[in-house]
Chains A and B, each alone.
Chain A
Amino acid sequence: MEFLQPLALFGLAGAAVPALLHLFQRRQPPTLPFPAVRYLMDAERRDSRRLRLRNLLLLVLRTVLIAALALAASRPVVPASFGAVHAPSAVAVVLDNSVSSGVMVDGRARFEALREVARAIGRRATPSDRLWRILADGIPERLTSAEWEPALDALAPVPARLDVGLAVRTAGALLRAEGLPAAVVVLSDLQESALTPASVDVPVVTLAPVRLPPNRGVAAAQVTPETWSPGGTIVVEVGGRDAPPAEVDLAVGGVTLARGLAGPGGSVVLGVDRIAPGWHAATVALAPDELRADDGFHAAVRGGVPAAASAVGAGEFVDAALATLVAAGRLRAGRGVVLGDRPDRGATIVLPPADPALVPAANQALAARGIRVRFGLPRSGEWAAASDLLPIEAVTVWRRHPLEGEGVTLATAGGEPWLVLAGDAVIVGSRLEDPWTDLPLRPAFIPFLDALVNRVGAGESWQVRAAPGEAVRLPGSGARLLLPGGAVPLGADGRIEAPREPGTYFVASPAGDTVGALLVNVDPRESDLAVASRALVRDRLSGATVVEDAAALVRAAFAVRRAEITTALLSLALILAVVELILATVGGLSRRREA
């Protein structure tokens, strides 16, 4: 109960007045002589019980009357929820149809149970309510109560991940603008990993977490090397929790080429001796479990022949590495790719000259070849090298020429371009020797050079990983994304929204050559079905109310209708006053008539 004028509650003290007056008057009655006391005693003997009851009733009536008036003055507001009637409310339902919601619990997908609750909310809603729905894609959608159920019928788990905290924050911001009593209803499997913190100023209510079954899923599949000539390996990492190890199959081009065994938290290396030259879609599949959507993983492998490479003025480390790679069969000796401090014809990897005086000449040569990248003035310092495409983790750069101009950055040093691809040339900002960088001294140097030379030798080749629907920027000269339904042109800067269906999607150049692959897979965190505890739910979701059953959740979703009962209290006071009047006077009159 709330009070619009709470100060008036002090008037309740007045309810004690009748009792106090009663006590006060009883204390000092005057004494008067009266001979007919025997009549009084006779009357008292006959009437005292009735009088006591009447006086008690009068006392109660007057006390309640004053209390009712004081309460009426305070303008109390009480919940007035009867049946399905509730106050107009704004309700945002965060319905989790992420990958994990497809897990089977007791023979039924968890999503189905969550959707049933969402349907119940729609049935309770009235046209006065404002309903919002937020799915795994995180996009809020306003629906009327009439649209609610049909829209739910069309839903199914999607290969997306729901950030519950983000969705709640979005819902909170929406509801704040509605200006109605609001609530955020979270219908989710409450994966612990999806429960990011959210602080909102509207009530959050959710169903109690349900324990989910053990699960395993393919978390990653790393193709090594990037170009198989003729064979290679795929390192498969398995995610999930509590599930036993299961068979892992690698299929390339629809043909299973390797098998292994791995469990949650483990990995398995699946090797393939030979594949045909060209791009191939690869699929890693785990034995089925209660959550099927994470049992497969899409990858791409490219088959090819080792590049022919030679070095001119690239330094002794490069010379030694090339010799090693040739000896190992990863490269061939030849001029297919030339590494040196001056750009050569054809595929080339250009290092800055050791003599700074020759840098301008090198820049002129680059420009003469039509390469719009040039070496800047040398800098000294200490920078960490980084690349998504090449194995140069923990490599330090001490000296480099900033790379100025246009090209595709393959690696950075201190956040600035360090390896830049421009056509069929790769310009490196540092010489690959001490004291420019410690890369030549590291074990990664040979694989780095292998990947770099074979990439340059094979022409443009890359792979980009994305989640379903994620906006990504595709590198290189790709012009079209090849989808099962046809090719989709890429934007000017290579940006595109990844397809919502997991899979391997190749990208073609304007000339029609396949230059890369977009690998769309579900978020590996979806495989971890550990659910949050109630305490964690409350902690992360703004003190959310966790209810046990759907009915309670549906009730909590809508605001309770509140009504001011001032009029009712005044009516009660009036009735009490009339009753008091009757009891105090009319009773006496009737007795007089009888007499």
Chain B
Amino acid sequence: MAERLDLLDPYEVAQLGGIELTAQGVVEGFLAGLHRSPFRGFSVEFTEHRPYQAGDELRYLDWRVLARADRLAVKQFEAETNLRAMLVLDASRSMAWSGAPRRLSKHEYAQRLAASLAIVLLRQRDATGLIAFDEAVRAVVPARARSLQRWALLKALAGLEPGGGTAAEPALQRVTDLLRRRGLVIFISDLLFDQDLALRALLFLRHRGHQVLVFHVTDPAELELDGPPEVRYEDPETGRGIVVRPREFRGAYRDAVQRAIAGWRGACRRSGMTYLHVRTDTPFGHVLRQATERRARLG
């Protein structure tokens, strides 16, 4: 591959093909840049040796091979899957919005991000499932580690269309019902709903022993207010509107957005959850890398 898709502009990547193809490309690129498993399980099984490469951790160096054959070889393991991951995807109408023509909507971005994560997890033999929700749970793919699970997930993701309003709490309660064994919950949403209710549900998951990774997806146009001298902005989900002058309101709006992001980040940190703020113009590889690093730090 001439270029690594994981580092390209998400819109450009999306133009190359469907979710499956692009997610596969992204993951390939992403994994090619890694030297170890992105999501390690609770135990591993040795599979083969490979030549040492700069950057490999020394603890995986096989000293006996070095002593016998005088060459550096690294032991490779195949993760033994007992991690159960559930991708929880917000498919509300607000996710269908894009602030620029040549930019993926939040929904499109979340689809591809979820697909990429699913491929990475399934490659580790982790049981991976999907729950999509708006006002209600729209789609459920139970967590499995079988080979066909990948196609089931990608098919479900590709078939998702943005729906109505957002009601995160019922959807997350449904997730708790579906995730009886402790595992990893990856929550992908623009978080444009009541923070207290959503946090309560996520905390419930956390209390049940799940690890929670929150992807807060925002369009860059949601971070910086811009537009005509005076405009009425209308919420596509609720129909509520407000008339503002973007030029005058820009600072106050920026403060409000940063306050909201900081609120989510702080609440997640206090609750032991991993929070990642993701702009829809960020290459997928960067997001995946950030996610693996955060997960690594959390153990």
A and B found bound together: yes
Query: Which of A25, A32, A46, A54 contacts B233 (CB under 8 A)?
Result: A32
Q: Is B97 an interface residue (CB 8 A)?
A: yes
Against B, the Cβ 8 Å flags (1 = close, 0 = not) of A47-71 are: 1000100110000000000000000
Report if A595-B249 is in contact (Cβ < 8 Å); known contacts: A33-B97, A41-B242.
no
B251 and A39 contacting across the interface, CB-CB below 8 Å: no
Report if A35-B192 is in contact (Cβ < 8 Å); known contacts: A592-B251, A595-B258.
yes
Identify which of residues 240-293 in chain B touch chain A, using a CB-to-CB cut-off of 8 Å: 240-244, 247-260
The answer for the CA separation of A243 and B258 in the assembled complex, in Å, is 100
The residue of chain A having its C-beta at the shortest distance from the C-beta of B95 within the complex is: A35
The answer for the CA separation of A548 and B86 in the assembled complex, in Å, is 100
Report if A30-B244 is in contact (Cβ < 8 Å); known contacts: A39-B260, A43-B249, A43-B253.
no
A31: chain B residues at CB < 8 Å are: 231-234, 241
A379: chain B residues at CB < 8 Å are: none
Q: Is B222 an interface residue (CB 8 A)?
A: yes
A29 and B254 contacting across the interface, CB-CB below 8 Å: no
The answer for the CA separation of A26 and B245 in the assembled complex, in Å, is 10
Interface residues on B, range: 35 or more
Query: Which of B106, B227, B249 contacts A44 (CB under 8 A)?
Result: B249
A591 and B240 contacting across the interface, CB-CB below 8 Å: no
A405: chain B residues at CB < 8 Å are: none
The residue of chain B having its C-beta at the shortest distance from the C-beta of A27 within the complex is: B230
B242 and A29 contacting across the interface, CB-CB below 8 Å: no
The answer for the CA separation of A41 and B97 in the assembled complex, in Å, is 19
Q: Is B229 an interface residue (CB 8 A)?
A: yes
The answer for the CA separation of A42 and B240 in the assembled complex, in Å, is 13
B231 and A38 contacting across the interface, CB-CB below 8 Å: no
B248 and A591 contacting across the interface, CB-CB below 8 Å: no
Identify which of residues 1-47 in chain A touch chain B, using a CB-to-CB cut-off of 8 Å: 25-26, 29-44, 46-47
B252 and A36 contacting across the interface, CB-CB below 8 Å: no
The residue of chain B having its C-beta at the shortest distance from the C-beta of A593 within the complex is: B251
Report if A30-B192 is in contact (Cβ < 8 Å); known contacts: A36-B222, A40-B249.
no
Query: Which of A26, A32, A595 contacts B255 (CB under 8 A)?
Result: A595
The answer for the CA separation of A25 and B246 in the assembled complex, in Å, is 13
The answer for the CA separation of A430 and B253 in the assembled complex, in Å, is 122
The answer for the CA separation of A32 and B228 in the assembled complex, in Å, is 10
B233 and A34 contacting across the interface, CB-CB below 8 Å: yes
Query: Which of B225, B236, B259 contacts A35 (CB under 8 A)?
Result: B236
A591: chain B residues at CB < 8 Å are: 251-252, 254-255
B56: chain A residues at CB < 8 Å are: none
Q: Is B190 an interface residue (CB 8 A)?
A: yes
B249 and A51 contacting across the interface, CB-CB below 8 Å: yes
In angstroms, how far is the closest chain B Cβ from the Cβ of A114?
69
In angstroms, how far is the closest chain B Cβ from the Cβ of A48?
9
A588 and B253 contacting across the interface, CB-CB below 8 Å: no
The answer for the CA separation of A493 and B34 in the assembled complex, in Å, is 141
The residue of chain B having its C-beta at the shortest distance from the C-beta of A26 within the complex is: B230
The residue of chain B having its C-beta at the shortest distance from the C-beta of A34 within the complex is: B233
Q: Is B196 an interface residue (CB 8 A)?
A: no
A37 and B241 contacting across the interface, CB-CB below 8 Å: yes
A41: chain B residues at CB < 8 Å are: 240, 242
Query: Which of A35, A588, A592, A595 contacts B190 (CB under 8 A)?
Result: A35
The answer for the CA separation of A41 and B254 in the assembled complex, in Å, is 12
The answer for the CA separation of A32 and B222 in the assembled complex, in Å, is 13
The answer for the CA separation of A36 and B243 in the assembled complex, in Å, is 13
In angstroms, how far is the closest chain A Cβ from the Cβ of B48?
49
B232 and A47 contacting across the interface, CB-CB below 8 Å: no
Identify which of residues 157-213 in chain B touch chain A, using a CB-to-CB cut-off of 8 Å: 190, 192
A588 and B236 contacting across the interface, CB-CB below 8 Å: no
B250: chain A residues at CB < 8 Å are: 588, 592
B252 and A35 contacting across the interface, CB-CB below 8 Å: no
The answer for the CA separation of A34 and B251 in the assembled complex, in Å, is 17
The residue of chain A having its C-beta at the shortest distance from the C-beta of B251 within the complex is: A591
Identify which of residues 547-595 in chain A touch chain B, using a CB-to-CB cut-off of 8 Å: 587-588, 591-592, 594-595
A35 and B249 contacting across the interface, CB-CB below 8 Å: no
In angstroms, how far is the closest chain B Cβ from the Cβ of A65?
18
Against A, the Cβ 8 Å flags (1 = close, 0 = not) of B18-42 are: 0000000000000000000000000
In angstroms, how far is the closest chain B Cβ from the Cβ of A118?
66
B242 and A40 contacting across the interface, CB-CB below 8 Å: yes
The answer for the CA separation of A41 and B238 in the assembled complex, in Å, is 13
In angstroms, how far is the closest chain B Cβ from the Cβ of A18?
13
A35: chain B residues at CB < 8 Å are: 94-95, 97, 106, 190, 192, 222, 235-237
The answer for the CA separation of A328 and B236 in the assembled complex, in Å, is 139
The answer for the CA separation of A558 and B232 in the assembled complex, in Å, is 63
B232 and A38 contacting across the interface, CB-CB below 8 Å: no
A37 and B235 contacting across the interface, CB-CB below 8 Å: yes
Against B, the Cβ 8 Å flags (1 = close, 0 = not) of A250-270 are: 000000000000000000000
Of A33, A44, A54, most buried by chain B (CB within 10 Å of CB) is A33
The residue of chain B having its C-beta at the shortest distance from the C-beta of A595 within the complex is: B254
The answer for the CA separation of A30 and B243 in the assembled complex, in Å, is 9
In angstroms, how far is the closest chain B Cβ from the Cβ of A474?
99
B106: chain A residues at CB < 8 Å are: 35
The residue of chain A having its C-beta at the shortest distance from the C-beta of B228 within the complex is: A30
Against A, the Cβ 8 Å flags (1 = close, 0 = not) of B80-104 are: 0000000000000011010000000
The residue of chain A having its C-beta at the shortest distance from the C-beta of B260 within the complex is: A39
The answer for the CA separation of A40 and B253 in the assembled complex, in Å, is 6
A39 and B228 contacting across the interface, CB-CB below 8 Å: no
In angstroms, how far is the closest chain A Cβ from the Cβ of B238?
8
B229 and A34 contacting across the interface, CB-CB below 8 Å: no
Report if A32-B252 is in contact (Cβ < 8 Å); known contacts: A37-B242, A38-B192.
no
A39: chain B residues at CB < 8 Å are: 222, 253, 256-257, 260
The answer for the CA separation of A592 and B225 in the assembled complex, in Å, is 12
The answer for the CA separation of A588 and B245 in the assembled complex, in Å, is 13
B234 and A46 contacting across the interface, CB-CB below 8 Å: no
In angstroms, how far is the closest chain A Cβ from the Cβ of B201?
18
B244: chain A residues at CB < 8 Å are: 40, 44
Report if A43-B233 is in contact (Cβ < 8 Å); known contacts: A35-B97, A35-B190, A54-B248.
no
The answer for the CA separation of A25 and B94 in the assembled complex, in Å, is 28
A30 and B249 contacting across the interface, CB-CB below 8 Å: no
A43: chain B residues at CB < 8 Å are: 249, 252-253, 255-256
Against A, the Cβ 8 Å flags (1 = close, 0 = not) of B217-228 are: 000001001011
B251: chain A residues at CB < 8 Å are: 587-588, 591-592, 594-595
The residue of chain A having its C-beta at the shortest distance from the C-beta of B258 within the complex is: A595
Report if A34-B255 is in contact (Cβ < 8 Å); known contacts: A51-B249, A588-B250.
no
The answer for the CA separation of A40 and B230 in the assembled complex, in Å, is 14
The answer for the CA separation of A55 and B230 in the assembled complex, in Å, is 13
The residue of chain B having its C-beta at the shortest distance from the C-beta of A21 within the complex is: B229
The answer for the CA separation of A35 and B233 in the assembled complex, in Å, is 8
A36: chain B residues at CB < 8 Å are: 192, 222, 257
In angstroms, how far is the closest chain A Cβ from the Cβ of B260?
6
The answer for the CA separation of A268 and B258 in the assembled complex, in Å, is 115
The residue of chain A having its C-beta at the shortest distance from the C-beta of B249 within the complex is: A43
B235: chain A residues at CB < 8 Å are: 33-35, 37-38
Report if A32-B249 is in contact (Cβ < 8 Å); known contacts: A25-B229, A39-B260, A40-B244.
no
15 contacts between A and B (CB under 8 A): A29-B228, A31-B231, A33-B233, A33-B234, A34-B97, A35-B236, A37-B240, A37-B242, A39-B222, A39-B256, A40-B242, A40-B256, A42-B259, A44-B249, A591-B252
The residues of B with any CB-CB pair to A shorter than 8 Å are 94-95, 97, 106, 190, 192, 222, 225, 227-238, 240-244, 247-260
**Further 9 A-B residue pairs, CB within 8 A, beyond A35-B97, A587-B251:** A30-B232, A39-B256, A40-B256, A42-B256, A43-B249, A44-B242, A46-B255, A591-B251, A591-B255
Closest 6 CB pairs of A and B: A591-B251, A47-B252, A35-B94, A34-B233, A43-B256, A37-B235
